[in-house]
Amino acid sequence: AQTVTQSQPEMSVQEAETVTLSCTYDTSESDYYLFWYKQPPSRQMILVIRQEAYKQQNATENRFSVNFQKAAKSFSLKISDSQLGDAAMYFCAYPRIYDKIIFGKGTRLHILP
Amino acid sequence: DTGVSQDPRHKITKRGQNVTFRCDPISEHNRLYWYRQTLGQGPEFLTYFQNEAQLEKSRLLSDRFSAERPKGSFSTLEIQRTEQGDSAMYLCASSPSYRGQGGFPYEQYFGPGTRLTVT
Contact in structure between A4 and A94 (CB atoms under 8 Å): yes
Quick one: closest CA in A to B50, which residue? A98
Q: Can you give the pLDDT of all 119 residues of chain B as single tens digits?
A: 579 999 999 999 999 999 999 999 998 898 999 999 998 899 999 999 999 999 999 988 889 999 999 988 999 999 999 999 999 999 999 998 777 666 777 889 999 999 999 99
- Assess B29–A contact: CB distance below 8 Å, yes or no: no
Q: What is the pLDDT of residue B101?
A: 66
**Are A100 and B33 within 8 A, CB to CB?**
yes
Q: Confirm if B97 and B31 have CB atoms less than 8 A apart.
A: yes
Task: Tell me if A80 sits within 8 A of A63, measured CB to CB.
Answer: yes
> For residue B100, what pLDDT is reported?
67
Q: Which residues of chain A have pLDDT under 70?
A: none
- Residue B53, C-beta contacts closer than 8 angstroms, at least 6 positions apart: none
Q: Is A41 on the interface with B (CB under 8 A)?
A: no
Give pLDDT tens digits for A53-83: 998 899 999 999 999 999 999 999 999 999 9
* CA gap B105, B107 in Å, rounded: 6
Residue A71 burial by CB count (10 A; 0-12/13-18/19+): exposed, middle or buried? exposed
pLDDT of residue A97: 76
Which of B44, B107, B114, B115 is the mutation pick for testing A, counting most A CBs within 10 A? B107
Q: What residues contact residue B58 under an 8 Å CB cut-off, 6+ apart?
A: B44, B45, B46, B47
* The pLDDT value given to residue A99: 82
Mutate to test the interface with A, among B26, B44, B106 (most CBs of A within 10 A): B106
Each residue of B42-62: pLDDT tens digit?
Answer: 999 999 999 999 999 998 888
- What are the backbone dihedrals phi and psi of residue A85, each rounded to the nearest 5 degrees, phi first? -70, -5
Which pLDDT value is given to residue A25?
97
Query: Which pLDDT score, from 0 to 100, does residue B14 have?
Result: 98
Supply the pLDDT for residue B1. Answer: 53
pLDDT > 90 fraction of chain A, expressed in percent and rounded: 86
> What pLDDT was estimated at residue B106?
80
Nearest CA in chain A to B31: A98
